[in-house]
Amino acid sequence: MKYYIKLGLILLLITSVASGILALLNNKTQPIIEENQRKEAEQARKEVLPEATVFEEVTTPDFSYYIGKNADNQIVGYTFVASKFGYSSEVKTMVGVNPDLTIKKIKIISQSETPGLGANCMKPDFAPKFEGLKLEKLKVDKDGGDIKSITGATITTRTVTNSIKEALEKLMNILPKNNIFEEKSAEEVSR
Amino acid sequence: MEFVGRIFTMAIAAIFVQNFVLARFLGLCPYIGVSKKLDSALGMGMAVIFVMTMASTFTWMIQSFILIPLKLEFLQTIAFILTIASLVQLVEMIIQKTAPALYKALGVYLPLITTNCAVLGVSILNIQSNYSFIEAIFNGFFAGLGFTLVLALMAGIRERLDKAEVPASMKGMPIAMITAGLMALAFLGFAGLKF
Amino acid sequence: MSLIKEFTKGFVKENPVFIMALGLCPTLAVSSSVQNAIGMGFAATFVLIFSNIIISLIKGFIPSKIRIPAYIVVIASFVTIVDMVMHAFLPPLHKSLGLFIPLIVVNCIILGRAEAFASKNNVLKSFVDGLGMGLGFTLALVVIATIREILGAGQFFGINVLPKSYIEKPMLVAILAPGAFLIMGLLMGLMNIAKKKK
């Protein structure tokens, strides 16, 4: 019995030393990792909503998004992340919408779909397909919409399209509730 | 009802569309090593299903009740692999007592289940996919099932291959790989399978 | 064996992938691009070297009965270190390699060398063995990745090397799962022929 306790203690000692070292390293690397992620997200937001100089985060239990405002404190649009599981991975897309809720620009920020097929969604000819579209037009051609599927990658195309559609619907439901429409958008002010 | 649908989709995905061996490349070492005879392949498969299901259960609990509350997520790799090693020890002892013939047949491959990437792989995947407790257990089970299916298919083919005329340099590992490649090609046809 | 021989044995004669058929899972998974192959190769070599060193250092203190769990803790610690450092300083590589970084801990090569070599030899020899085996592993990965990336995408390390007409319609299967198995099988067959000729 005493033998087994000794074995257990030695193993515990090794594990404790290891855990201690890892904890120290974790303290050093965690902040760097979080900062990287923050910067990446900020950069993606800027890309899909270039006129915005400042982003305000709005978090609700179901959905979070950012309000983009320009230097004159006018709303130039909104950004949110649409996420859905595709063929072999979670596909995350940063979406920028105009104040009238048409798509301004999208950027796929993370995916591990099949190389040569679904992964072609990262090619420069894919994202522009979504620009200027309203909610009703967000459908893959096979589902009766305007978005032409990538050859051999209907699943990935459908995933991106539907994820944006669902997220946009959530945004449309939340906006009136947050009385955002009371603030004048940049377009309205210039009229 | 929606829950049953989700579980069913998960099963199809884990077994066919994203088979752990042929599409995810997990569980290859034992796959090549034990797939020579059908009965030892099935025995190994059963053991792996059991370990993968149990591993999914315990690693999920450890992640949710110990690692996250104590902010020790960085210890995930150590915690998970030690859990799996212990489970495999346990399974070894059980099989030794209840089915000594199987124990002998599996030989060194039984403790090697610890280093089976599929077991650690499915544990980590469950966490990454944000599965609930029940979903994690089911995924572990189905992944094991997919592994066993492919293992059994491979064993069946290899038993026949042994009697075929294979060029000397391709005997053994090389032809096993080619076979796996052809099977993977076939399984690729499951892409897009949806219910 | 001389120190040089300990180092070079991992390259051809006892190549972990082609001769000993160890470490297959990550080999097939990350060899779809040369960049991933090098990244994984170096990460695994790092873990292999340091695990070998530590295990060789403490081999006297570990009772035989718990040696496997002890080795596992050491290896898992270095894997976690690699994971953290890569996540912080090389995020794109960390994303590409994904699940296979923590899976380095179950790479049979590392546990295999710990058990077969580091537990029985001194620190210097263990270091050299780890370095040689690790580089041999990396070499194998790069060879496979070169074939797969050129055939499957017409590129090497992300740079186009084949004419545009090929890149438009490459042999896609090479970077998909089946291609990995098929190419591996053919390479192993070739290795056997090469071994016989000696």
Question: Rounded to whole angstroms, how far apart are CA atoms A185 and A77?
Answer: 8
Domain ranges of chain C: 3-197
- Chain C partners of A112 at a C-beta cutoff of 8 Å? 98
d(CA B163, CA B181): 20
Residues 100-159 of A with CB under 8 A from C: 110, 112, 114-117
Model pLDDT, residue C52: 93
3-state secondary structure of B166: coil
Chain A residues within 8 A of C66 when measuring between CB atoms: 7, 10-11
Distance CA(B143)–CA(A67), nearest Å, equals 42
* Mean pLDDT comparison of A41-50, B185-194, C2-11, C110-119, highest-scoring range: A41-50
Residue A90 DSSP SS3: strand
CA gap B181, B177 in Å, rounded? 6
Q: Does A22 touch chain B (CB under 8 A)?
A: yes
Low-confidence winner among B186-195, C10-19, C60-69, C83-92 (lowest mean pLDDT) = B186-195
Placement of tokens 């669902």 in the chain: A166
Our measurement of the distance from residue C52's CA atom to the centroid of its chain's CA atoms, rounded to an integer in Å, reads: 15
Give the model confidence (pLDDT) of A57-84 as tens digits: 888 888 889 999 888 888 899 999 998 8
Residue of B nearest to C176 (CA): B23
In the three-class reduction of DSSP (H, G, I as helix; E, B as strand; rest coil), residue A2 is classed as helix
Distance CA(A103)–CA(B139), nearest Å, equals: 37
Give the pLDDT band (50/70/90) at residue A86: confident
Six-digit token string for B70: 């104590």
Nearest-neighbour CA in chain C from B1: distance (Å) = 32
Cβ pair A155:B191 closer than 8 A:
yes
Token readout for B107 is: 């030989």
Q: Where are the alpha helices (DSSP H) in A54-149?
A: none
- Residues of chain C found within 8 Å of residue B124, distances taken between Cβ atoms: 99, 102-103
Could you tell me which chains touch chain C, where touching means 3 or more CB pairs under 8 A? A, B
Chains within contact range of chain B (3+ C-beta pairs < 8 Å): A, C
**pLDDT per residue over A91-123, tens digit each?**
899 999 998 889 999 999 888 887 777 888 888
Task: Tell me: ipTM over 0.95.
Answer: no
Q: Against a cut of 0.90, is the pTM above it?
A: no
How much is the average pLDDT of C22-44?
Answer: 89
State both tokens at B111: 């403790």
* B27 interaction partners in chain C (CB closer than 8 Å): 25
Asked whether the beta carbons of B85 and C68 are under 8 A apart, the reply is yes
Q: How far is B160 from chain A (nearest CA, A)?
A: 33
Q: How far apart are CA A127 and CA A110, in angstroms?
A: 13
Q: How confident is the model at residue A182 (pLDDT cuts 50, 70, 90)?
A: very low
pLDDT for A184 beyond 70: no
